[in-house]
Amino acid sequence: AVGSNVLAPAGGKAEKVWVLDSTPPTISLVSSEAVGHETLQVTLQLNEPGTVWCQAAVQDTDPDYGIYCQSSQIQDSNVNSPCHFENYVKGSSARLTVFRSEVHTAYRDVDIEVNRIMREDKTRSIKLKREYPYHIFCFAEDDWAIEASSASPASPSFSAPASPNKIA
């Protein structure tokens, strides 16, 4: 309540109040180009701080690449599938296929360079072929879980988010 004297309010200030962020980040493609014989660079923006990953996939019609995830195999309905969207795009550090960037400021360009493709069974990876038309898939999640959980002091009604908001 403000009270009867508007020059000396009796309350109404609420510090450290967080509004729940339930929306995933939006990815904007700025550009994509080959920056070397075996390296593709994707320039992206997010509309909020977060992390973005990218990964190459082969065309559906290439018989030479049958042991790699093809574009039509990338899906998000079966998490146990070797070509599950989020798991595939996030890559494997052991196979040198983690291509990501932390986005600290909204609407600022970030570059991700992709230079390898992982086998469908995730046992190994190879360098990208020269002059081959790969499909690039990107995935992003925001920093909401980190930001909200590390705020001090927390709101009295705060409950930690289970996971970040994600977008494909």
3-state secondary structure labels for all residues of 39-88: EEEEEEEECCCEEEEEEEEECCCCHHHCCECEHHHCECCCCCCCCEHHHH
Q: Which residues contact 133 (CB under 8 A, 6 or more apart)?
A: 59
Give yes or no for residue 20 having a pLDDT over 80.
no
Give yes or no for residue 9 having a pLDDT over 70.
no
pTM of this prediction?
Answer: 0.81
- State the pLDDT at residue 12: 60
pLDDT tens-digit map of 41-78:
999 999 999 999 999 999 887 776 778 888 999 999 99
- The answer to whether 52 and 166 have CB atoms below 8 angstroms apart is no
Residues in the chain: 168
pLDDT tens-digit map of 75-131:
999 999 989 999 999 999 999 999 999 999 999 999 999 999 998 888 899 999 998
